[in-house]
Amino acid sequence: MSAQVNPVEYAVIPAAGRGTRFLPITKSVPKEMLPLVDTPAIEYVVAEAARAGISDVLLVSSKSKTCIEDYFDRDAELVSLLRRDGKDKLADLAERGEALAKVHSVRQGEPLGLGHAVLQAKSHVGDSAFAVLLPDDIMHPTSELLAEMVQTRARYGGSVIALMEVPEDQISAYGNAAVEETEDGGLKVTALKEKPAPGTQLSNYAVVGRYVLDPAVFGLLEHQPTGAGGEIQLTDALATLIDLDPAQGGGVHAVIIKDRRFDTGDKLGYLTANVELALEDAQLGPQLRTWLKSLDLDGNQ
C-alpha cells in the first residue's frame, strides 16, 4: 500500500464521442441525453458518483454537447414558475440534476482515445484520486459498485478497475485482465491487454467502464504512445501502473461486478435497459407488463 492514500474526490465522465451508432438522433441530441424511461442516461451516471460520496463531476465533452451542462445547471425561472403555480413535484424534478453534484466540463478537442480523454481532467483533478465512469455503462440505480471500488482503493492504495466475466469469443472487444487473489481475499491485477486478438487473451475477465485512479496515471498518459486502434489507451497506462512502486501510486486491484449493468452503447442494449427499468417503475411497470403479455410471438396485439 502507498504511504498515504488520498481520498477519491472527483468523478470524470468521458462524453465527447459522436454517438454514430445512434444516428440520426445524435446529429443534434447527445447520446448521453437520450432518456432511460424518463431520465437522461447521464443522470444515472452522475447519481452513481453521488451515491459513492463524490460531489464534484467533470464532463470531458465536445462543442456539440453543451445541453448536458445545461441540464445540470440551475433554471431559476422555471423552478420559480412551477412553484408559483403549485407544481412542486415538477419543480423538484427540475432541480434534481443540479442537486446531485457540482458538474463542470472541459472539451477534449479531438477524439484520440480514452486515455487522452482522461488526461484532459488533469488540471481539474490535480493530485487527487478520481473515478472514471464511462456513460455507455449504466449501473442499476441500486448499485454500490463504485462505492466498493472507492473502499478498495482506501484499503490497498493505487488504482482499481471493474471486471466482469464474458464469453471467450467476446473478450477481444474489451480490455482484458489477469488477476490473482491476495491473502486477505482481494483481487490484484497482474497483467492488462487492450482488445486482445483471438487466442491471446489473458483470461475471461473484461475491463468494464468503471475505474478509480491514482493521479500517477496522468504522468504516464502524457507520454503514452498510441495503442490499439491508433488511440491513446487508458489500459496501456494502467498496465504500467501494475508494476510501479506503491509509494509512487502504483498497483492495480480489481472488483468483480455483481450488480446489474446495462450496456447502452448500442441500440439493443439501450432498448432492453428502457424495458427493464420501466418494468420496475411503480406507475409504468404494471401497465407495461400487461401490454407485453398481450403481444403474440410476432409482436402484434
* Residue 62 to residue 109: CA distance in whole angstroms: 6
Top-level class of domain 8-265 = alpha beta
Q: Is 244 within 8 Å of 223 (Cβ atoms)?
A: no
Q: What is the mean pLDDT of the chain?
A: 92
Residue 271: in which H helix or E strand, if any?
A: helix 267-279
Per-residue pLDDT of 43-64, as tens digits, reads 999 999 999 999 999 999 988 8
Please compute the mean of the pLDDT values over residues 292-300 and round it to a whole number: 74
Q: Calculate what percentage of the chain has a pLDDT beyond 90.
A: 77
* Model confidence, pTM: 0.92
List C-alpha distances in Å: 181 to 117, 187, 258, 264, 297.
31, 5, 17, 31, 46
d(CA 190, CA 291): 49
Instruction: Report the percent of the chain where pLDDT is more than 70.
Output: 97
- pLDDT bracket for residue 4 (50, 70, 90): low
Distances (CA, A) of 36 to 39, 254, 269, 286: 5, 28, 11, 17
What is the pLDDT, as a whole number, of residue 298? 64
Query: pLDDT of 81-109, one tens digit each?
Result: 999 999 999 999 999 998 999 999 999 98
Q: What is the CA radius of gyration of the chain?
A: 20
**Sequence-separated (6 or more) residues with CB below 8 Å from residue 234:** 113, 114, 115, 118, 132, 211, 217, 221
Rounded Cα gap, residues 153 and 52, in angstroms: 13
CA distances to 39, 75, 156, 244 from 252, rounded to whole Å, are 34, 42, 9, 9
User: Which set of grid coordinates corresponds to residue 239?
Assistant: 498496465
Reported as a single tens digit per residue, the pLDDT across 183-234 is 998 999 999 998 888 889 999 999 999 999 999 999 999 988 877 778 888 9
Of residues 214 and 7, more confidence is placed in 214
Provide the b/e sequence for 66-104 (b: ≥16 CB within 10 Å): eebeebbeeeeeebeebeeeeeeeebeebbebeebbebe
